[in-house]
Every structure is written in C-alpha cells, then in structure tokens.
Structure 1
Amino acid sequence: MHVSYFHVAADVPNGPLPDAAIVIDVLRATTTIAWSLRNGAEAIHVFADLNVLRSSSESWPAEKRLLAGERGGARLEGFDLGNSPVAVTRELVSGKRIFMSTTNGTRSLDRVRDVPLLITACLSNRSAVSKYLIDKRMDTIWIVGSGWEGAYSLEDSLAAGAVAESLGQMICEDQIIAAGNDELIAASVLWSKCKNNPERCLRAASHGRRLISLGNHDEDFKCCAAVDSLDIVPIQTEPGVLKIS
C-alpha cells in the first residue's frame, strides 16, 4: 500500500490518479458530512462555487433540500446551515439532500473528484475509512488535506496521521510505504504526540483559534475530536455527490 499526504488541494500532482483519495477537513466539513449522513441525510452534494450550488439546488424539491454554506467559519446569509457537525440533527436532515459549500473542504473534494474511489475522513470515522480501503484492496492512496485558504492546517495533518496509524494497525506497518512523502511521516509524528488529547490540538490550531474568536464552539470541538465515534464511510457516488457506503 502506497500512501501519500498532500496538505492542500494545490499540492495534488497532475498525472496518473491513485486507486483512492481521502479528503480531510476536520474543522469542520468532513466531520459535518459524516454526521449528516449518519443522521439520515439522503446525500451531500458539494460545490466549490456558490452560484453553481444555488442553481443546482433549484432543481431539487424545496421540501427535500437544505443549503449549507460557510465562509470564514461563519454561516452564509440565507442558508439553512453553516458547517457544524452538531447542527445536523436527525430531525433536521433526515431524508434531505444537503447542498454544501465551505471555505476549504469542498474545494479539495472538487480537486480529486475524478479519482476512481473518493471518500471523506475525519477523526470520527478514521478506522471505518481504513477498514474500507483495506477491504477494497486499494494499493495507491492519496490523503488530501483542505488547509485554510490554500495554506497548511495543523488539524488536517493531525487527522492524516490518525488515518495512517489506523491503516498500520490493521495491516503490517511494513506494508505501508510513504511513497517518498515526508508530509505523511510528519503527520504521523504529529498524531503520535497529540493523540491522547486531540481536542487540545484542534483548539491550538490557527483555524481552531479562529472558531473560538467567532463564538462558543465547544460542542463542535468535542464532536470533531471524538476519535472513532462513527462507523460510516462517505463515498462519492457521482461527481460531487457523497452517500454512505
């Protein structure tokens, strides 16, 4: 198994595609996606462009859709939801298709949308994701972080390291090759240092501090830091559309 980690979408190389890609945006898009599907959302349709999101959502019945939009950590005006995993309750999202665009995560998903198997991961479902990839016998895997407006983010590297550890625990670690990728090695070291208190790392990250400055997000932090609390794997079933495996 050859695994590479790229901090942001812009770092993803052109050329041959891997067997699978994992997109991570711990704070908070991929955590919100996982919990939305866990709570009964029919699908998550992700968009990098807000205008395309609005026009696409209009073709879906109003009673069966929700708009989720976030920029700079705050919910967009006129949208039903922002980007909070604790806001996507079963009562609100069950049976609905969520049309979603966020500052960072949906851009990374768009960058690797042509990979044969595209899934999303967070700390909450990292073991479920690892097991799925191993069961499918994936050989080359890209882990793609979302960063913050094109720059490195600590929390995505933390989760990349968590996924790498989980893969290593399920198969012989010698079978995981970092493919000359120092970013994956660094992420693994970060996880080994912070895994006993991942929430502390999330809060210390620059985006964590940004969320704190916007208001009380204690429940979001707690949810995003809950390792292996979900057993679902969001998978792209058609371009931009994520459903449960």
Structure 2
Amino acid sequence: MQLSYFHVAADVPDCGPDIKAADKADAAVVIDVLRATTTIAWALHNGAEAVQTFSDLDELRSNAQQWPETSRLMVGERGGKTLDGFDLGNSPVAVTPEVVRGKRLFMSTTNGTRSLHKVRDISRVVTAALPNRRAVAERLLQEKPERVWIVGSGWEGTYSLEDSLAAGAVAAVLMDQGAVAANDEMQSALVLWERWQSNPEACLRLATHGQRLIGIGNHDADFRCCAGLDELAVVPTQVERGVLRAVGLADASA
C-alpha cells in the first residue's frame, strides 16, 4: 500500500470522472481535525442517517429543502462560526444522539467539505479524524487498496498542523503493517505524529486554527473531543457523491 499525503485540496491531482483509473488513487481519506471530519464521525456514531456535504451554500439549501423539515439538519460554518439560519455549527460535541438520530445532516464548512468535493470521484472515499483513526486504518488494511491519498483540508487553502498530525497518525498504523510513504509530505506528517502522539490536544491548541478557535470563544470541549484518540469504530464512507454513511468493519466485510 502506497500512501501519499496532500496538505490541501488544491494539491490533489485531478481525479474527475474523465481521468483514467490508472491516474487516480484507489482510496481517498479526507481529514479535517478542527472540526469537520471529527463532527462527521461523531454525528454518524450518534445515529445520523447520513451526512451530505457541500462546498456551495446555495446547493446545500436547495437539497435540504427537498427533505422533510423534521428529518433534516443544516450544518454550516464559516470562519469557525455557525452560519445564520443553520441549525448547527461545526462542533462535534453538538451532534448528540438526541439532536441527530435518524436525521440527514446537510453540511458545509470552511475547509473540510472542499476536500471531500475534490475527491468525490475516487472509488472509495472515507473521512478520518483522531477519534476514528484506527478504525479507518483497519478498514484500509482490510480492503488493501494499492494507492491511498490522504487529503488534508488546511485553512482557506493553506497548510494546517492538525491535519498533518492526523495524517501521520493514520499512516503510522498502516506502516506498521507494511505500507510505504510515497511522498515527502507523508514522511513529514509521520515525524509530526511521532513528536505529538503523547499529547495531541497540545498540538491542536498550538496550531493556528486552534489559536483562531481559542480567540473566538471557549472551545475546550471541542478540543478534548477532537483530540480523543481511537474512541470510535465508525468509518464515514461515501455511498454516493457527497453522501457519507456510517460503515463499520463488520458492515464492510458482510
């Protein structure tokens, strides 16, 4: 298994429907630790029917209006803050079972949903964060894709420390089982994980986006949740373009 890491969506090679399969990855792992992929993992773990992601807000609103109001939630964030008129912002501690169970979340965030949009045509797309890091790695080991692209989300097109930390965390499990790093970005992410694996929350708080969240309010609960390692067995998996559902290891092997 060859692992390549891309810091942001813009770094990912073109993987649209007209690109030959030989030029694409066999699987893509999208990461946005603070906070989209952490929120997605917890929402699905807590019983959301699906999370449907959008890079465009007008498209989100149009699709959400086609669902009964009682079975949908609009999740929107820009600049770390909840969008006006949306039910929820981008917080993993807000997607409790009482709030999300049985509902479809229509979600758009500053960074993470852009990366999901970029890789939507790859045959296998999953999302990872620190809480479901091992579950994602075990799924990849089970399915054995030859080429895996791990895609960070960054902050408005620039590098983010926390996404690279999680990329290294996922890769560390895979490389213990024989996977190899295919680019320097992957190697540097592994070094970052080795440095911070004993205290990932400190790394999240040190990161510029962590500092941004600290500056706009008390996000201590979010930091603790986003830094919780290997707490979830859920693997958010794209089942149709832009739609993620919970798939565990037992589901994948059935």
* Interval containing the TM-score (normalised by the shorter chain): over 0.9
Hey, what's the Cα distance between the residues in 1 that align with 2:98 and 2:56?
28
1:176-199 CA-partner distances (Å, limit 9, x unpaired): 2222x1000000000000010000
TM-score (norm 2): 0.93
Q: Could you tell me how far 1:17 is from its partner in structure 2?
A: 1.1
Unaligned runs of at least 5 residues, structure 2? 248-254
Hey, what's the Cα distance between the residues in 2 that align with 1:177 and 1:229?
26
TM-score (norm 1): 0.97
Q: Which residue of 2 aligns with 1:200?
A: 202
Q: Could you tell me how far 1:20 is from its partner in structure 2?
A: 0.2
Q: Which residue of 1 aligns with 2:3?
A: 3
Hey, what's the Cα distance between the residues in 1 that align with 2:88 and 2:24?
33
Asked whether 1:139 is paired with 2:141, we answer: no
Amino acid across the alignment from 2:94: A
Hey, what's the Cα distance between the residues in 2 that align with 1:143 and 1:185?
12
Q: CA RMSD in A?
A: 0.7
Q: Which residue of 1 aligns with 2:251?
A: none
Q: Among 176, 180, 185, which residue is 1:177 paired with? A: 180
Q: Which residue of 2 aligns with 1:118?
A: 125
Hey, what's the Cα distance between the residues in 2 that align with 1:54 and 1:132?
33
SS in structure 2 of the partner of residue 207 of structure 1: helix
Q: Which residue of 1 aligns with 2:70?
A: 63
1:185-217 CA-partner distances (Å, limit 9, x unpaired): 000000000010000000000000000011000
Amino acid across the alignment from 1:7: H
Q: Percent identity?
A: 62
Hey, what's the Cα distance between the residues in 1 that align with 2:141 and 2:60?
34
Q: Which residue of 1 aligns with 2:116?
A: 109
Residue correspondences, number: 240
SS in structure 1 of the partner of residue 181 of structure 2: coil
Q: Which residue of 1 aligns with 2:80?
A: 73
Q: Which residue of 2 aligns with 1:130?
A: 137
Asked whether 1:230 is paired with 2:226, we answer: no
Structure 1 residue runs of 4 or more that deviate by more than 3 Å after TM superposition: none
SS in structure 2 of the partner of residue 142 of structure 1: strand
